[in-house]
Amino acid sequence: MVHEEGDVKSNPSQQQSISTHSEVAQSAGIGVEVQGLVKRYGTLVALDHVSFNVKAGELFALLGPNGAGKTTLLHILCTILSPDEGRALIAGADVVQQALRARRRLGVVFQEPSLDDRLTVYENLEFHGLVYGVPAALRRKRIDEMLHVVELSDWRERLVRTLSVGMKRRLEIARALIHDSRVLFLDEPTVGLDAQSRARIWRYLHDLRQQRDLTLIVTTHYIEEVEQADRVAIIDQGKLLAIDTPLALKSAHGHEVLEVSPINAEVRAHILAEYQNKIVKTSEDQLTLKVEDGRFIEHFLSIYGSQVRAMTRIEPSLESVFLSLTGRAIRDQEASARERTLAFGKQGGEHTR
Ligand SMILES: Nc1ncnc2c1ncn2[C@@H]1O[C@H](COP(=O)(O)OP(=O)(O)O)[C@@H](O)[C@H]1O
Ligand SMILES: [Mg+2]
Protein backbone atom coordinates (compact mmCIF):
# COMPACT_ATOMS: atom_id res chain seq x y z
CA MET A 1 0.00 0.00 0.00
CA VAL A 2 2.89 2.33 0.54
CA HIS A 3 4.69 3.19 -2.65
CA GLU A 4 8.27 4.26 -2.62
CA GLU A 5 8.10 6.13 -5.92
CA GLY A 6 5.41 8.41 -7.16
CA ASP A 7 5.43 11.00 -4.44
CA VAL A 8 8.22 12.94 -6.13
CA LYS A 9 7.55 12.16 -9.78
CA SER A 10 5.64 15.35 -10.40
CA ASN A 11 8.80 17.41 -10.15
CA PRO A 12 11.89 15.70 -11.57
CA SER A 13 14.22 18.64 -11.02
CA GLN A 14 13.31 18.79 -7.35
CA GLN A 15 13.77 15.05 -7.05
CA GLN A 16 17.27 15.46 -8.41
CA SER A 17 18.23 18.16 -5.97
CA ILE A 18 16.63 16.36 -3.03
CA SER A 19 18.39 13.06 -3.65
CA THR A 20 21.71 14.86 -3.96
CA HIS A 21 20.94 16.61 -0.72
CA SER A 22 19.95 13.37 1.01
CA GLU A 23 23.21 11.72 -0.03
CA VAL A 24 25.08 14.59 1.58
CA ALA A 25 22.90 14.29 4.69
CA GLN A 26 23.49 10.53 4.95
CA SER A 27 27.21 10.79 4.51
CA ALA A 28 27.33 13.41 7.24
CA GLY A 29 25.34 11.04 9.49
CA ILE A 30 22.37 13.36 9.76
CA GLY A 31 19.14 11.66 10.83
CA VAL A 32 16.80 14.65 10.77
CA GLU A 33 17.22 18.11 9.29
CA VAL A 34 14.89 20.94 10.16
CA GLN A 35 15.25 24.24 8.35
CA GLY A 36 13.28 27.37 9.19
CA LEU A 37 9.99 25.68 10.04
CA VAL A 38 7.04 28.00 10.59
CA LYS A 39 3.53 26.86 11.50
CA ARG A 40 0.61 29.14 12.21
CA TYR A 41 -2.84 28.33 13.54
CA GLY A 42 -4.73 31.45 12.50
CA THR A 43 -2.85 34.29 14.16
CA LEU A 44 -1.06 32.03 16.63
CA VAL A 45 2.52 31.27 15.62
CA ALA A 46 3.01 27.72 16.94
CA LEU A 47 6.47 27.35 15.36
CA ASP A 48 8.61 30.37 14.66
CA HIS A 49 11.52 29.65 12.28
CA VAL A 50 12.78 26.51 13.97
CA SER A 51 16.02 24.98 12.62
CA PHE A 52 18.19 22.16 13.92
CA ASN A 53 19.81 18.86 12.90
CA VAL A 54 19.71 15.55 14.67
CA LYS A 55 22.58 13.16 13.98
CA ALA A 56 21.89 9.56 13.04
CA GLY A 57 21.93 7.45 16.20
CA GLU A 58 21.40 10.36 18.52
CA LEU A 59 19.01 10.45 21.49
CA PHE A 60 17.58 13.92 21.10
CA ALA A 61 15.14 15.54 23.52
CA LEU A 62 12.78 18.42 22.85
CA LEU A 63 12.07 20.09 26.15
CA GLY A 64 9.39 22.70 26.57
CA PRO A 65 6.29 23.49 28.60
CA ASN A 66 2.80 22.62 27.39
CA GLY A 67 1.88 24.78 24.41
CA ALA A 68 5.53 25.26 23.37
CA GLY A 69 4.92 23.70 19.93
CA LYS A 70 6.47 20.25 20.47
CA THR A 71 3.53 18.23 19.13
CA THR A 72 3.12 20.59 16.18
CA LEU A 73 6.80 20.10 15.32
CA LEU A 74 6.54 16.33 15.63
CA HIS A 75 3.40 16.21 13.50
CA ILE A 76 5.23 18.08 10.74
CA LEU A 77 8.23 15.75 10.99
CA CYS A 78 5.86 12.74 10.82
CA THR A 79 4.29 14.13 7.62
CA ILE A 80 0.78 14.51 9.02
CA LEU A 81 0.82 18.31 9.15
CA SER A 82 2.27 20.66 6.52
CA PRO A 83 4.54 23.53 7.50
CA ASP A 84 3.70 27.06 6.33
CA GLU A 85 7.38 27.76 5.70
CA GLY A 86 10.65 25.87 5.82
CA ARG A 87 11.43 22.22 5.21
CA ALA A 88 12.38 19.05 7.02
CA LEU A 89 14.14 15.85 5.97
CA ILE A 90 13.92 12.43 7.64
CA ALA A 91 16.98 10.30 6.82
CA GLY A 92 17.29 12.40 3.67
CA ALA A 93 13.60 12.31 2.61
CA ASP A 94 11.68 15.60 2.46
CA VAL A 95 8.53 15.39 4.62
CA VAL A 96 6.45 17.29 2.05
CA GLN A 97 7.99 16.38 -1.32
CA GLN A 98 8.71 12.76 -0.42
CA ALA A 99 6.17 12.17 2.31
CA LEU A 100 5.73 8.43 1.72
CA ARG A 101 9.44 7.83 1.59
CA ALA A 102 9.92 9.83 4.80
CA ARG A 103 7.08 7.90 6.44
CA ARG A 104 8.70 4.55 5.74
CA ARG A 105 11.81 5.70 7.57
CA LEU A 106 10.08 6.92 10.70
CA GLY A 107 8.11 5.42 13.54
CA VAL A 108 5.96 7.45 15.85
CA VAL A 109 4.41 7.14 19.27
CA PHE A 110 1.76 9.83 19.48
CA GLN A 111 0.95 11.81 22.60
CA GLU A 112 -2.63 10.55 22.35
CA PRO A 113 -3.28 6.78 22.34
CA SER A 114 -3.82 5.52 18.79
CA LEU A 115 -4.23 1.74 19.10
CA ASP A 116 -7.34 -0.13 18.06
CA ASP A 117 -8.86 -1.20 21.36
CA ARG A 118 -11.06 -3.85 19.75
CA LEU A 119 -8.14 -5.75 18.26
CA THR A 120 -5.64 -7.96 20.05
CA VAL A 121 -2.06 -6.96 20.74
CA TYR A 122 -0.92 -9.17 17.86
CA GLU A 123 -3.57 -7.87 15.45
CA ASN A 124 -2.57 -4.26 16.08
CA LEU A 125 1.03 -5.08 15.16
CA GLU A 126 0.02 -7.28 12.23
CA PHE A 127 -2.21 -4.57 10.79
CA HIS A 128 0.57 -2.00 11.05
CA GLY A 129 2.99 -4.37 9.29
CA LEU A 130 0.47 -4.96 6.50
CA VAL A 131 -0.14 -1.25 5.98
CA TYR A 132 3.60 -0.67 5.70
CA GLY A 133 4.02 -3.59 3.31
CA VAL A 134 6.40 -5.58 5.54
CA PRO A 135 6.71 -9.08 3.97
CA ALA A 136 4.94 -11.85 5.96
CA ALA A 137 7.98 -13.71 7.30
CA LEU A 138 9.77 -10.52 8.32
CA ARG A 139 6.54 -9.21 9.85
CA ARG A 140 6.18 -12.24 12.10
CA LYS A 141 9.85 -12.07 13.10
CA ARG A 142 9.65 -8.37 13.95
CA ILE A 143 6.41 -8.82 15.89
CA ASP A 144 7.98 -11.57 18.01
CA GLU A 145 11.13 -9.53 18.54
CA MET A 146 9.34 -6.35 19.50
CA LEU A 147 6.87 -8.08 21.82
CA HIS A 148 9.87 -9.57 23.57
CA VAL A 149 11.61 -6.18 23.89
CA VAL A 150 8.59 -4.52 25.49
CA GLU A 151 7.77 -7.60 27.60
CA LEU A 152 4.34 -8.22 26.09
CA SER A 153 4.91 -11.68 24.56
CA ASP A 154 2.51 -13.26 27.05
CA TRP A 155 -0.15 -10.77 26.12
CA ARG A 156 -0.19 -11.17 22.37
CA GLU A 157 -3.70 -12.63 22.14
CA ARG A 158 -5.23 -10.16 24.61
CA LEU A 159 -7.60 -7.43 23.48
CA VAL A 160 -5.89 -4.07 23.70
CA ARG A 161 -8.72 -2.63 25.80
CA THR A 162 -7.75 -4.98 28.65
CA LEU A 163 -4.21 -3.55 28.84
CA SER A 164 -3.00 -0.97 31.37
CA VAL A 165 -2.00 2.50 30.19
CA GLY A 166 1.68 1.61 30.57
CA MET A 167 1.28 -1.59 28.56
CA LYS A 168 -0.47 0.30 25.78
CA ARG A 169 2.43 2.72 25.60
CA ARG A 170 4.83 -0.20 25.35
CA LEU A 171 2.73 -1.69 22.56
CA GLU A 172 2.82 1.62 20.71
CA ILE A 173 6.61 1.63 20.90
CA ALA A 174 6.67 -1.94 19.55
CA ARG A 175 4.31 -0.98 16.73
CA ALA A 176 6.45 1.98 15.68
CA LEU A 177 9.34 -0.41 15.05
CA ILE A 178 7.60 -3.14 13.02
CA HIS A 179 8.59 -1.48 9.74
CA ASP A 180 12.07 -0.22 8.80
CA SER A 181 12.02 2.90 10.95
CA ARG A 182 15.36 4.55 11.39
CA VAL A 183 14.01 7.54 13.23
CA LEU A 184 11.64 7.02 16.15
CA PHE A 185 9.56 9.96 17.39
CA LEU A 186 7.98 9.76 20.81
CA ASP A 187 5.66 12.54 21.94
CA GLU A 188 5.62 12.67 25.75
CA PRO A 189 5.88 8.87 25.96
CA THR A 190 5.87 8.76 29.75
CA VAL A 191 3.20 11.30 30.57
CA GLY A 192 0.58 9.95 32.98
CA LEU A 193 2.63 6.88 33.89
CA ASP A 194 3.84 5.92 37.37
CA ALA A 195 7.56 6.13 38.15
CA GLN A 196 8.13 2.42 37.60
CA SER A 197 6.48 2.41 34.16
CA ARG A 198 8.38 5.54 33.20
CA ALA A 199 11.69 3.96 34.10
CA ARG A 200 10.71 0.86 32.16
CA ILE A 201 9.94 2.83 28.98
CA TRP A 202 13.32 4.55 29.22
CA ARG A 203 15.03 1.20 29.70
CA TYR A 204 13.46 -0.13 26.48
CA LEU A 205 14.50 3.00 24.61
CA HIS A 206 18.09 2.61 25.73
CA ASP A 207 18.06 -1.12 24.88
CA LEU A 208 16.60 -0.46 21.45
CA ARG A 209 19.26 2.08 20.72
CA GLN A 210 21.93 -0.51 21.45
CA GLN A 211 20.24 -3.17 19.33
CA ARG A 212 19.19 -1.11 16.32
CA ASP A 213 20.69 1.77 14.47
CA LEU A 214 18.03 4.15 15.67
CA THR A 215 17.69 7.90 16.00
CA LEU A 216 15.39 8.82 18.88
CA ILE A 217 13.55 12.11 19.19
CA VAL A 218 11.61 12.43 22.40
CA THR A 219 9.51 15.36 23.55
CA THR A 220 8.91 15.89 27.22
CA HIS A 221 8.19 18.49 29.82
CA TYR A 222 9.84 16.38 32.51
CA ILE A 223 13.22 17.97 33.06
CA GLU A 224 14.68 14.97 34.88
CA GLU A 225 14.13 12.80 31.78
CA VAL A 226 16.22 14.88 29.41
CA GLU A 227 19.39 14.53 31.49
CA GLN A 228 20.05 11.22 29.72
CA ALA A 229 19.70 12.66 26.20
CA ASP A 230 22.76 13.22 24.01
CA ARG A 231 21.44 16.68 23.17
CA VAL A 232 18.52 18.79 24.27
CA ALA A 233 16.65 21.48 22.38
CA ILE A 234 14.77 23.92 24.60
CA ILE A 235 11.63 25.24 22.96
CA ASP A 236 9.21 27.83 24.31
CA GLN A 237 6.37 29.66 22.56
CA GLY A 238 7.35 28.20 19.20
CA LYS A 239 10.96 29.36 19.41
CA LEU A 240 14.06 27.26 19.78
CA LEU A 241 15.98 28.91 22.60
CA ALA A 242 19.02 26.69 22.96
CA ILE A 243 20.35 23.37 21.77
CA ASP A 244 23.29 21.43 23.18
CA THR A 245 24.33 18.57 25.43
CA PRO A 246 22.78 18.72 28.93
CA LEU A 247 26.24 19.42 30.35
CA ALA A 248 27.02 22.25 27.92
CA LEU A 249 23.59 23.82 28.47
CA LYS A 250 24.15 23.75 32.19
CA SER A 251 27.58 25.28 31.99
CA ALA A 252 26.45 27.97 29.54
CA HIS A 253 23.08 28.91 31.04
CA GLY A 254 22.71 27.13 34.36
CA HIS A 255 24.08 28.10 37.72
CA GLU A 256 24.92 26.35 40.94
CA VAL A 257 22.89 27.23 44.01
CA LEU A 258 23.49 27.10 47.73
CA GLU A 259 20.61 26.16 50.01
CA VAL A 260 21.04 27.38 53.56
CA SER A 261 18.95 27.06 56.71
CA PRO A 262 19.66 30.03 59.03
CA ILE A 263 19.62 29.26 62.77
CA ASN A 264 17.07 31.98 63.48
CA ALA A 265 14.97 34.77 61.98
CA GLU A 266 17.58 37.41 62.72
CA VAL A 267 20.28 35.61 60.75
CA ARG A 268 17.78 34.99 57.98
CA ALA A 269 17.05 38.71 57.76
CA HIS A 270 20.79 39.50 57.67
CA ILE A 271 21.45 37.08 54.82
CA LEU A 272 18.42 38.37 52.91
CA ALA A 273 19.65 41.94 53.22
CA GLU A 274 23.26 41.21 52.41
CA TYR A 275 22.70 38.98 49.39
CA GLN A 276 19.58 40.57 47.91
CA ASN A 277 20.69 40.09 44.32
CA LYS A 278 21.70 36.46 44.83
CA ILE A 279 18.51 35.13 46.37
CA VAL A 280 16.64 32.88 43.93
CA LYS A 281 14.14 31.29 46.33
CA THR A 282 12.97 31.81 49.88
CA SER A 283 10.95 29.65 52.22
CA GLU A 284 10.32 29.94 55.93
CA ASP A 285 13.43 28.08 57.03
CA GLN A 286 15.50 27.98 53.88
CA LEU A 287 17.14 30.46 51.51
CA THR A 288 18.50 29.60 48.08
CA LEU A 289 21.39 31.67 46.80
CA LYS A 290 22.81 31.75 43.31
CA VAL A 291 26.49 30.81 43.18
CA GLU A 292 28.24 32.65 40.36
CA ASP A 293 31.76 32.23 41.59
CA GLY A 294 33.32 29.43 43.66
CA ARG A 295 34.80 31.95 46.09
CA PHE A 296 31.30 33.03 47.07
CA ILE A 297 30.84 29.87 49.15
CA GLU A 298 34.11 30.49 51.05
CA HIS A 299 33.07 34.07 51.62
CA PHE A 300 29.61 33.04 52.84
CA LEU A 301 31.07 30.40 55.18
CA SER A 302 33.54 32.84 56.69
CA ILE A 303 30.67 35.09 57.76
CA TYR A 304 27.74 32.74 58.36
CA GLY A 305 29.41 29.35 58.80
CA SER A 306 28.38 29.07 62.46
CA GLN A 307 24.95 30.62 61.93
CA VAL A 308 23.39 28.10 59.57
CA ARG A 309 21.96 24.75 60.58
CA ALA A 310 22.40 23.15 57.22
CA MET A 311 23.93 24.02 53.89
CA THR A 312 23.66 22.18 50.56
CA ARG A 313 25.49 22.98 47.38
CA ILE A 314 23.38 22.05 44.32
CA GLU A 315 24.89 21.54 40.89
CA PRO A 316 23.44 23.52 37.96
CA SER A 317 20.23 21.85 36.74
CA LEU A 318 18.35 22.06 33.46
CA GLU A 319 15.60 23.68 35.51
CA SER A 320 17.94 26.60 36.13
CA VAL A 321 18.82 26.64 32.42
CA PHE A 322 15.16 27.02 31.48
CA LEU A 323 14.74 29.69 34.13
CA SER A 324 17.66 31.75 32.89
CA LEU A 325 16.62 31.41 29.22
CA THR A 326 12.97 32.32 29.73
CA GLY A 327 12.83 34.06 33.10
CA ARG A 328 10.24 31.50 34.25
CA ALA A 329 10.22 28.05 35.80
CA ILE A 330 9.10 25.42 33.29
CA ARG A 331 6.21 24.35 35.50
CA ASP A 332 4.77 27.88 35.72
CA GLN A 333 4.14 27.70 32.01
CA GLU A 334 2.00 24.58 31.94
CA ALA A 335 -1.31 25.09 30.22
CA SER A 336 -4.46 24.19 32.11
CA ALA A 337 -5.94 20.77 31.57
CA ARG A 338 -8.84 22.43 29.77
CA GLU A 339 -6.56 24.19 27.30
CA ARG A 340 -4.84 20.93 26.60
CA THR A 341 -8.11 19.11 26.02
CA LEU A 342 -9.16 21.80 23.57
CA ALA A 343 -5.87 21.53 21.71
CA PHE A 344 -6.23 17.75 21.43
CA GLY A 345 -9.81 18.07 20.24
CA LYS A 346 -8.62 20.27 17.40
CA GLN A 347 -5.98 17.77 16.42
CA GLY A 348 -8.38 14.84 16.65
CA GLY A 349 -8.55 12.52 13.68
CA GLU A 350 -5.01 13.12 12.53
CA HIS A 351 -3.35 9.86 11.79
CA THR A 352 -0.30 8.47 10.06
CA ARG A 353 -2.25 6.57 7.53
N1 LIG B 1 -5.02 22.29 15.67
C2 LIG B 1 -4.76 23.42 16.33
N3 LIG B 1 -5.47 24.55 16.11
C4 LIG B 1 -5.19 25.70 16.77
N5 LIG B 1 -4.22 25.83 17.68
C6 LIG B 1 -3.48 24.74 17.96
C7 LIG B 1 -3.70 23.49 17.30
N8 LIG B 1 -2.81 22.60 17.77
C9 LIG B 1 -2.05 23.26 18.67
N10 LIG B 1 -2.45 24.54 18.79
C11 LIG B 1 -1.82 25.59 19.64
O12 LIG B 1 -0.47 25.69 19.23
C13 LIG B 1 0.39 25.85 20.34
C14 LIG B 1 1.39 24.70 20.37
O15 LIG B 1 0.71 23.51 20.68
P16 LIG B 1 1.42 22.09 20.74
O17 LIG B 1 2.19 21.90 19.50
O18 LIG B 1 0.37 21.08 21.05
O19 LIG B 1 2.41 22.28 21.96
P20 LIG B 1 3.05 21.21 22.98
O21 LIG B 1 2.99 19.88 22.33
O22 LIG B 1 4.43 21.72 23.23
O23 LIG B 1 2.23 21.25 24.22
C24 LIG B 1 -0.52 25.90 21.56
O25 LIG B 1 -0.76 27.26 21.85
C26 LIG B 1 -1.77 25.18 21.10
O27 LIG B 1 -2.89 25.63 21.82
MG1 LIG C 1 2.24 18.08 22.98
User: Which ligand sits nearest to residue 76's alpha carbon?
Assistant: 1
C-alpha to C-alpha distance for 347 and 308, rounded to whole angstroms? 53
Average predicted confidence (pLDDT) for the chain: 85
**Residue pLDDT, tens place only, 140-168:** 999 999 999 999 999 999 999 999 999 99
User: Which ligand sits nearest to residue 65's alpha carbon?
Assistant: 1
pLDDT at 18 over 70: no
> Is the beta carbon of 112 within 6 A of some atom in ligand 1?
no
Residue 218: which of 336, 92, 110, 105 has the closest Cα? 110
Pick from 71, 82, 239 the residue to mutate for probing ligand 1's pocket: most ligand atoms within 8 Å of its CB. Answer: 71
Can you tell me the mean pLDDT for 306-315?
92
Going along the chain from its start, the domains and CATH numbers come out as 12-250 (3.40.50.300), 255-315 (3.30.70)
Residue nearest to atom 2 of ligand 1 (CA): 346
> Is the beta carbon of 223 within 6 A of some atom in ligand 1?
no
C-alpha to C-alpha distance for 80 and 99, rounded to whole angstroms? 9
Characterise 96 by phi-psi region: left (phi > 0), alpha (psi -120 to 50), beta (else).
Answer: alpha
Residue nearest to atom 24 of ligand 1 (CA): 67
Q: 288 has which bridge partners?
A: 259, 281
pLDDT at 11 over 60: no
Reported as a pLDDT band with limits 50, 70 and 90, residue 123 is very high
C-alpha to C-alpha distance for 249 and 320, rounded to whole angstroms? 10
**Residue pLDDT, tens place only, 317-335:** 888 888 888 877 776 544 3
In the reported structure, the alpha carbon of residue 69 is separated from the centroid of ligand 2 by a whole-number distance in angstroms of 7
Query: What are the residues whose beta carbons fall under 8 Å from the beta carbon of 283, sequence distance 6 or more?
Result: none
Q: Which strands form 183-187's sheet, in the order they lie side by side?
A: 106-109, 183-187, 215-220, 59-63, 231-236, 239-244
**Residue pLDDT, tens place only, 55-71:** 999 999 999 988 999 99
pLDDT at 2 over 50: no
pLDDT of residue 271: 95
User: Which ligand sits nearest to residue 70's alpha carbon?
Assistant: 1
